[in-house]
Amino acid sequence: MGSEDLVCASCSGLVIEGRCPTCRASREYLRRNSANLSLQLLLAILAIVMILAVLAGRHAS
Ligand SMILES: [Zn+2]
């Protein structure tokens, strides 16, 4: 599974590069769960990242 290729919805960078707090939280989560990472877990992470991005957008505007 290409968890390294996850793109952050908040900063549009690779999550693994950790450019923003959302990236770093997701990367840490991935690292802790990499042993039992499944497609469903990946989708759940993506959903969390998108929710965080929406929340961040609300704060910015
Ligand atoms: Zn990011």
Tell me the CA distances in angstroms from 58 to 32, 45, 61, one per residue in order: 29, 20, 5
- Residue 11's contacts (CB-CB under 8 Å, 6 or more residues apart) are 19, 20, 22, 23
> What distance in angstroms lies between residue 58's CA and the mean position of ligand 1's atoms?
16
Question: pLDDT tens across 4-60, in order?
Answer: 688 888 899 999 899 999 999 988 887 887 666 677 788 899 999 999 999 999 876
Residues forming a β-bridge with 14: 7
What distance in Å separates the CA atoms of residue 54 and residue 37, rounded to the nearest whole number?
25
> What distance in angstroms lies between residue 36's CA and the mean position of ligand 1's atoms?
23
Is the separation of the CB atoms in 55 and 22 below 8 Å? Answer: no
> What distance in angstroms lies between residue 52's CA and the mean position of ligand 1's atoms?
10
- What does the pLDDT read at residue 5? 81
- What does the pLDDT read at residue 19? 94
Neighbours of ion ligand 1 (CB under 5 A): 8, 10-11, 19-20, 22-23
Q: How confident is the model at residue 3 (pLDDT cuts 50, 70, 90)?
A: low
- Residue 44's contacts (CB-CB under 8 Å, 6 or more residues apart) are none
**pTM of the model as a whole:** 0.48
